Structure 1
Amino acid sequence: MEGLPTLDCSMCVFALLGCIAIVAAWLAGRASVRHKPSSSSRTADGQARFEISDPTSPIGHLGAAFTSMAAKLNLGDMEREDIMRALREGEERLQTAQDVAGLGVWDWDHQAGKIAWSPQMFSIMDLDPGAPDLFRAWLNAIHEQDRERMEKELGQLLRTLEPRTSEYRVVRPDGSIRWLLMRGQSLPDGAGKPLRTVIVNLDMTASKESEARERVLLGLSDKIRDLARPSEILMTVAETLGRHLGVSRLGYGEINHATMILSTLADWHADEMPDATGQHPLAPFGPDLCADLRAGRTVIFEDALRDQRAKDHVATYEALQCIASISVPLVKEKELRAALYVHSAARRQWTPGEIELCRDVAERTWAAVERARSDARQRLLINELNHRVKNTLATVQSIAAQSFKAENPGVAQEAFEARLFALSKTHDVLTRENWEGANLHDIVEEALAPYRREQTERFAIGGARLQVPPRVALPLAMALHELSTNAAKYGAFSTDSGRVDVHWDVTETADGEKVTLRWREQGGPTVHPPTRKGFGSWLIERGLTRELAGEVLLDYQPSGLSCTISFPLPKVQWSGGEDVVVSEAAHI
């Protein structure tokens, strides 16, 4: 037992053997004249054994007693070794069980005024075993919201023999929080007063984080269920998760895979932190971060100031007060699309539960935003379809009324059918794009396709790859059909040498983008201004002006008709890095 002197059994045996040998020698000397000499030997296990020629002699009796005593002493030594081995194995099993279960043990000896902690307790608290005052170190590490309560709990435990159980949080030196379940009981002395107190602390952080994760996810689902706008969803997610984790910043942004530029869509931050909305290149954060995000790996920093991955980019992390961080990428179809980022202004050891929560929230946020965008697109398409159906019926009614004014019924029917066919071809283009818009090049191509010849190129098309919304595509397609029909009857397409050039460009104005399309005929017969304007001219000039809020200029030059159409492009934006214009309807 600790503190008590221990005797080495082998030393005792040798000392006793010496004494017996002296006595035996004295007795042997006295009996040597009357008895045959005796002999001694050792057994295979080293045990001393005396062989006495005359067992009835005094020395024979002494030898027998010595042999019996030696055997008992040897048996006691073996038993002691078995007991010590069992104790060592039991201690190892106990330490392993405490490690696996996350148990930290106190032993408070009130009489000696000393506190002893198990190694697991130091590990749970992340404290130095050489701390001079363990009670003060424990009390200072308790979360400020639990400290007063736990100090009272411990005081009650020391004054009673009843067991007590409490949950509390401790804040480790790295800022991470651990949840502990304390179970303690005092043991009595002979008078029934507390002699010592044994306290067991169970680390239940993992289970607590699992419960908290489920609460956060369920709470988020309830909050965003009725939200329709992606911006509202993202800000709700960022604020809820940011406050739960107690971080300085949490946000969500979309990423251009080629340029690695993050466009912030939501940025929640603590009051003292600056706003960080806008576009941010990720290259200044280091190549390791960019490579991991592109590969779909979550990037975790516990201390960027000491992390080798950020050693040449520390200034960037310091400027953003991003010392610890979690970045969860969202990779779809092998391209990095977005990321959820978490920033802490101080060094922090993230728990597995916190990392898993961020991953879950990122995936659910992506799904919620995509669902909201899909719903918005669907609503837009339904409204657009309703509007288009009404306008199409009105257009067909107008086409019929104007076409059948002709004196020749056959000509009127041919013109009416041709115009309906042009309208249906434009609908085909829009259907291919799910009624989200149509490519201007495809609209022009459809209008001029009937006049293509295998041997001779009759027309040229040029301009930016421009996507226009349905309310622009339909009237523009009808106007192009009227221009191409007029060219076939009276203009460039009426001769073998004639050709048509169609070109457009997009310019920036104070009110947004403006499209200018030019139709120019050449090589046809000499052109004369018409004495009267028919339905085709009316459809081009008045129809486009009314439908597109644009301007139309028809110039009847002798060398060929020239038509310039200018109109604002409704709510468009240039897509990342390409010569394409995309309507807002395609990216709600």
Structure 2
Amino acid sequence: MSQTSRPATGANAVLHDLPTAALKAAVQAANIGVWHWDLTSNIIDYSDLARCILGLPRSGPVTTETVRALTHPEDLPRTREIARRALDPDVRGSEVYSYRIIRPDTGETRWIQAHGLAEFGLVNGVQAALTYSGSIQDVTESRVLRQALEDQSARLQLAIEAGDLAVWDLDIASDTISPSPEMNRLFGFPSDATPSAEDFRRLYAPGEEDRLKEVSAAQMADGGTKVQSEVRYVLRDGRERTFLLRADIQPKEPPFTRAIGVLIDVTDRVRREQQVTTIALEMRHRLKNAFAVISAIASRSWPASDKNEGLKWFKGRLQAISAATDLMFRINAEALLVADLADRIIAPYRHPDHDPITLEGPDISVPPALATPLAMALHELATNAVKYGALSVPEGKVTIRWEVPPDGSIRIVWQEMGGPPVKAPAQSGFGSTLLGSALFPPPHRVEHNFSPDGVRYSIEVRTD
């Protein structure tokens, strides 16, 4: 009734010659279940492993209704269509496909990969499927892993698009950069263009290529393989943009063969920082002029009887305030020790005959980016203490203490004692805002306690 099969050749011949025991051992080792459907008798036979994979009893009949009942409802139309195509003599489909089942024994949803192949013959003179045999394999773990990788890739793509950044990959030996739509978008190339590494280098702003080489050499001088720098480019339409470049050079030891990294468009941030710098410099200039005017007025109007002592002390205090102002508005300066920063800020409030302020802590450097916020915070706390707190009375004391917690941050604690009774403010003013999110947004932290015995502020800044 069935057609004569062609002689098996090549790998098929080897498979054909394997004894049944060897084939059984192979599918067992691969954790593959086998099924066979005799369409002439409508009997479906599943191997023990196939039954285990599907969550079926080890014995008992298996019907098409059984298989349909355990197939996930959302996948049933597709598996039906695949079976229909496989059993159609004009199509004879044999695709590998995946679908979900709901195990009848545990109720658990599992992913199954299946492959079926029908044999055809003449039935009453008409071609028809005689048997439908195949294999099944539980691929839930690999499917879940693949889905997790796809989700991770999708999240990364969203982050790339939302953050105006592009991932790049440079083959150093061939000087070939892998094209990407994100890189093309940042640099103004068509999305399907394939610019060369040299095409990107031509867009460096004047002097930037040499500067980047110097920065890279300095950062890798001690055996490091990571480079980070802001780089200016002049795009093809004449616009100047600033990108933050981060690169990982591979392998860890020369000769280096690959560089992979990201570019982040930070143009708007850089422009805002430039505006803030300009305003800060202008404010510092105006304050210095104001201090000079105040000093001149004091020199002319100070009582002659007190010029040797009083005027000298007043000008010294004024000069100390001026120095603290310089520190608050310093631009691109080197790191300072916390002790030096605190000493310079609170100098106007100390006196050789009566020093109400105590500094305590180890030698800790303050990164340049944090020097100005900390200086402004200490200045604000000192000003408040003079107006309302411990420094407003002769017996008042202030202790400034700093330390490095286990997480590597810097914690500075301002503690007042001996001043007037403290009352918490009824509402937050500019000073509270300044000492909070304005100067120290997350992940930095600021805590305050308006204890009746004295105000306590704790400022914890992250340095990473």
TM-score range, shorter chain: 0.3 to 0.5
Using structure 1 for the length normalisation, give the TM-score.
0.37
Structure with a larger share of its residues in helix = 1
Q: Which has the larger radius of gyration?
A: 1
